[in-house]
Amino acid sequence: MKDSLIEARQVEKFYSQDGENRIQVIAPTDLSIYADEILAVLGPSGSGKSTLLRMMTGLSKPSAEEVRWHGQPAHGPCESVSIVFQSFALFPWLTVLENVEAPLRARSMTAEPPRTIQVALKYSF
């Protein structure tokens, strides 16, 4: 069995409200992402897709448990990851791949062939 690039075991996200009450956004969730795979996160608007992706990339800290990158605890944003959010944040004149590469160019990084960009898709319905 191959090792995961990103792994979350029982991660959850909740916000405290009025003392002991809390609003749970992501119930305890297990997720592993492996090299050479494409992950699609599907669900209705407001179901927590963006919150889950933000936790998996280090943009948001889980309320419980942890995300691991290559077996090590993730602390803060991962420099090797970018998220392309829904269409309102895309450059319509660029292709999907060019939109994914845009943050790399902004950091003066280039993707030399063969491209090894991992893409996570999010779709609201």
pLDDT attached to residue 102: 79
Residues contacting 115, CB < 8 A, separation 6+: 97
What is the torsional sign of CA 108, 109, 111, 116? negative
Architecture per CATH, domain 6-124, reads as: 3-Layer(aba) Sandwich (3.40)
Domain residue ranges in the chain: 6-124
Query: pLDDT tens, position by position, for the chain (125 residues)?
Result: 688 888 999 999 998 888 778 889 999 999 998 888 888 888 888 888 888 988 988 888 999 999 998 888 888 777 777 666 665 677 888 887 787 777 777 777 765 554 554 555 555 54
pLDDT attached to residue 74: 85
Distance, in Å, from the CA atom of 60 to the CA atom of 26, rounded to the nearest integer, reads 12
The model's pTM:
0.65
The CA–CA distances, whole Å, from 12 to 76, 81, 113 equal 16, 21, 37
Name the 3-class secondary structure at 77: coil
